[in-house]
Amino acid sequence: MIVKYRRVGNTELEVSEIGIGTWSIITDWWGAEVTKAEEVLRRAYQLGVTFYDTADYYGQGKGEEILGKTLSTVRDKVVILTKIGYNFYSGDHRKQDFTRDYLEEALSMSLKRLNTDYVDVLMLHNPRLNVIKDVEVYETMIEFKRDGKARVVGVALGPTLGWREEGLQAIGMGYEALEHIFNLIEREPGLTFLQHSGIGHFVRVPHASDVLDEERWEMLSNKKLHRALKDSAWVLKALEEIKNYLKEHPSPPLYQLAIQYILTHNAVSSVIPNMTSVHDVERFTRLSELEVLDEETMRTLNTLYEKKLKPLNLESEEETLAYK
């Protein structure tokens, strides 16, 4: 199995184009067997995955701890992205704090859990526009880089799709990377961000809350899982349109097509599918061996988007309003 690698924007970092996030393996929100998290990570590394996405907020430190435990002996061979900004230490897991003092404290705690003295990519976790515009916050992140505690600094947009103004502001401020949602259905504002190829782009939710992964269709109605936070009516509409498309256009496995679509965009640094098992690791990393989509397939998918999927994209963007 051959995993391909890509440059992170104009930085010196190089990452596997298929990455793995700890969010989906250290909680049961995606149906994972959390006791097998270390096994999943080790198998990913064996297969050539070098990019690992986490945050201090994931499992209140568990996501970082498991990376520190599993990958510390190969630290110089992997690229770790972590995020800070949620002050879960306060007892309120929704409280955000982007003051200099808190960011310094949060990064120090993250480094201890990761068992390292630096992170490759450090991101602000779901900041609002006023935070992204804050020069002191930006300078604090640059200081972390200057002190050798971070190699690249960026912004993770969320929790929902959208945040167009925030993403463009982050690029304008000089942040070197974004993490954002982008997939066959929810294309914007991702396509707008990807026009800025000089920064790194880490893509999450590539299967549109599992609508684009036929192996998980039976789980879509499980109210205990994280995707249940997505409007169920949206999921059903999206699933109907995708199934209609498949009736008329025989294709490779849908989960494969979804990843190939994303990797056809050269500005993407790495895509992070929700991997919950060794089986997921193997089926997703295998996709790196494939070629990107040809022009005819892209034209067909673009037509599908314009005729059927674009309204769903707009609905998803509107979800952001609830957080503003």
Mean pLDDT confidence for 156-173 = 96
Residue 152 is predicted with a pLDDT of: 98
| Percent of the chain topping pLDDT 70 | 94
Beta bridge partners of 67: none
> Does residue 27 have a pLDDT over 80?
no
Residue 245 near residue 304, CB atoms below 8 Å? yes
Which residues on adjacent β-strands are paired with residue 7?
14
The string of pLDDT tens digits covering residues 169-198 is 999 999 999 999 999 999 999 999 999 999
What pLDDT was estimated at residue 89?
87
157 in Cβ contact with 202 (< 8 Å): no
pLDDT bin (cut points 50, 70, 90) of residue 223 is: low
Domain architecture of the chain: domains with CATH: 5-323 (3.20.20.100)
Report d(CA 41, CA 55) in Å as an integer: 16
Gap between the Cα atoms of 41 and 22, Å rounded: 9
Q: Which two tokens stand for residue 112?
A: 């201890």
pLDDT at 224: 55
The whole-number pLDDT of residue 91 equals: 83
Tokens at residue 104, please?
């310094």
- Cis peptide bond prior to 159, omega within 30° of 0: yes
Mean pLDDT of the chain: 93
| 114-137: pLDDT as tens digits | 999 999 999 999 999 999 999 999
Confidence of residue 254 (pLDDT cuts 50, 70, 90): very high
Radius of gyration of the chain (CA): 19
| Joined tokens for residue 2 | 């051959």
| 70-87: average pLDDT | 97
CA angle (287 as vertex; 282, 293 as ends), nearest 5: 165
Question: Which token pair is 44?
Answer: 């990913």
Q: What is the pLDDT of residues 275-307, one digit of tens each?
A: 999 999 999 999 999 999 999 999 999 999 999
What confidence tier does 221 reach under pLDDT thresholds 50, 70, 90?
low
**Local confidence band at 222 (pLDDT 50, 70, 90 cut-offs):** low
Q: Is the pLDDT of residue 76 over 80?
A: yes
What is the residue whose two structure tokens read 């209140």? Answer: 60
Cα 114 vs. chain centroid, distance in angstroms? 19
